[in-house]
Chains A and B, each alone.
Chain A
Amino acid sequence: MESRHKVLIVDDDPAVLELYRDLLSQLPSHPEIFTTTSGARALSMLKSESFRLLLCDLKMPTMDGLQVLSIVRRSFPELRTVVMTAVHNEEFRSRAYALGVDLFWLKPDTQQNMEMFLQCIESLLGRDEEGGFRGVQSKSLMDLIQMECLSQSSTVLRVTRGSLSGRIWIISGELIDAETEGARGETAFRRILEWKSGTFENLPAEPGRERSITKPANALLLEAAQAMDEIAAPETQSTEDVEQADHRKTVWRLAALTRAGADFVVSLPNEAEGKAEGWGTEATQELGLWMRQATEACSKLAHDLQVGSMEHLEGRSLDHRVVLLPEEQKTYLVGWRAEAKVSQLSEQSKQLVASWDS
């Protein structure tokens, strides 16, 4: 008799556990479903029985999901792990992938997302039979795509950089389509390749996907690599080449501004002597100075009031709305027209900033 895979689900909400038990028991492989509401209990269950897959919520009392996962990764390296959460936070996503989880999934809110989620789980259960090495890898996107193409695999690569997200469809080692932020095909593929860092997930293949890229993947990767080399090594270029590259960069950034619907962007390095750079404004240095003062004022308030770090600052004038975003290396000020929708401004600013230094 064929043995059934065992799946353990950890969530502090019993109603969620019941829902997932019902859903996962309907998978084609008919796994055996076990549930628990606490991380500590989950660890003891993992010690006493052999499980194939662990689905873990992030936000739990006493021992949260990240703690459970870090213990599981060391104690049970063969166990497939999936994070399911309602917290839409890129930092959590990065931390979860850094812990080596197989999948980070926002709790499905639509029928389509639920179907994709179930397909991913079924795919993860199936992959167990293949064996091989597992671990946390940090590869360039180009390496990843080359590996997928060379191994003739069929998959959908979901790539995330901050609040930007893109997908690349590969069928039998051939690149057939890409999509990101309203762009499709080669344009989307090039745009995704411009992202310097981020996370990726392998989603189940979609054989019925319509083909929009006809050029071979290697040719596209070569073009993108050449373009990146030109930008990365200006010393090997003539003055004219450098000027052209700078000009292209400026044009690209102004185009990105227009595409996003923003009026201006000022970036300021976090080190004290860093000089502000601005696009779409003539008051770059003045705004840079204000950004520095605002960041210092917010740090002081955060310290004195003990209210945690500043997430962002929003300002409104007669003709503009501005969003100040502190990032790891730089602080950004994004200016929008006064009539821009307030509810989406911080999210839109984060998206623009995420693409800015790619």
Chain B
Amino acid sequence: MGLLNLFSKASPGVQVLPSGTLTVDRNNHILATTVSSACSPELLQEIGDQVLNLFRQARKAQLPLSELTLHFSSLKITARELRGGAIVFLAPKHSFNSVT
């Protein structure tokens, strides 16, 4: 059966943007997530780490933030502070609602 595979082309990989929710505690341990397992745990840790640092650094700058929204070209990340941890929402932006 594997013979036919010789003639099939490798399909180009399309990166799927992470979508869902992620909850981390103050030590950046992931408590719960609804993000697809296609997104690596390291990447989720990285998101949690950056978000927690931003909250901490803002507090040091006399700007104690309770919510942060990062707008990228194709993704919106919203993070709410939860007693030192955070709940993070990842929402990809679709081309049909940005431009016509």
The interface of chain A, by Cβ under 8 A from chain B, is: 59, 86-87, 89, 283, 286-287, 289-290, 293-294, 297-298, 300-302, 304-318, 320, 322, 346
Among B60, B62, B63, B100, the most chain A Cβ lie within 10 Å of the Cβ of B63
In the complex, what residues of A have CB within 8 A of residue B72's CB?
A: 298, 301-302, 305, 307-311
B34 within 8 A of A: no
Cα A298 to Cα B63 in complex, Å, equals: 18
For A281, give the chain B residue with the smallest CB separation.
B62
B50 and A313 contacting across the interface, CB-CB below 8 Å: no
**CB distance B54 to A293 under 8 Å?**
yes
B66 contacts which chain A residues (CB < 8 A)? 316-318
Interface size on B, residues (CB 8 A): 30
B60 contacts A304, CB within 8 Å?
A: no
| Contact A301-B46, Cβ < 8 Å, known A59-B100, A307-B73, A311-B72 | yes
B63 with A301: CB separation less than 8 A? no
> Which of A87, A301, A307 is within 8 Å of B74, CB to CB?
A307
Complex Cα distance, B45 from A100, in Å, reads: 48
Min CB gap B8→A, angstroms = 27
What is the bound-complex CA distance between A87 and B96, given in angstroms? 12
CA distance A287 to B65 in the complex (A): 12
Cα distance A308–B72 when bound, in Å? Answer: 6
**Cβ of A86: which chain B residues have Cβ within 8 Å of it?**
99-100
Q: What CA separation (Å) do A157 and B85 show in the bound complex? A: 53
Flag whether B58 is at the interface (Cβ < 8 A): yes
CA distance A294 to B61 in the complex (A): 12
Q: Does more than half of chain B's interface fall in helix, strand or loop, or is it mixed?
A: mixed
Interface residues of B (CB under 8 A from A): 15, 17-18, 43, 46-47, 50, 53-54, 57-58, 60-75, 77, 99-100
Q: Which of A89, A309, A316 has the most CB of B within 10 A?
A: A316
Q: Cβ of B70: which chain A residues have Cβ within 8 Å of it?
A: 298, 301, 310, 313
Residues of B contacting A59 in the complex (Cβ-Cβ under 8 angstroms) = 99-100
A-B contact count (CB 8 A): 98
Q: Write the nearest CB–CB distance from A120 to chain B, whole angstroms.
A: 21
Q: Which chain A positions have C-beta within 8 A of B73? A: 307-309, 311
CA distance A306 to B43 in the complex (A): 11
Of B47, B50, B64, most A-chain CB atoms within 10 Å: B50
Additional A-B contacts beyond A59-B100, A293-B54, A301-B50 (4; CB < 8 A): A287-B63, A307-B74, A308-B72, A317-B66
**CB-based closest 7 A-B pairs:** A308-B73, A290-B61, A307-B75, A286-B61, A307-B72, A316-B67, A86-B100
Assess A305 versus B50: contact at CB under 8 Å? Given A315-B58, A315-B68, A318-B66.
no
Query: Assuming A305-B43, A308-B74, is B99 touching A297 (CB within 8 A)?
Result: no
Jot down 27 A-B pairs with beta carbons below 8 A, ordered by A: A87-B99, A89-B99, A286-B61, A289-B57, A289-B61, A290-B58, A293-B53, A294-B54, A297-B50, A300-B50, A301-B50, A301-B72, A301-B77, A305-B17, A305-B18, A307-B17, A309-B72, A313-B68, A313-B70, A313-B71, A314-B71, A315-B63, A316-B66, A316-B67, A317-B65, A318-B64, A322-B63
Please state if A304 and B53 are interface contacts (CB–CB under 8 Å).
no
Give Cα distance in the complex from A35 to B11, angstroms: 38
Distance of A136 from chain B, by nearest CB (Å): 25
- For A302, what are the chain B residues with a Cβ–Cβ distance below 8 Å? 72
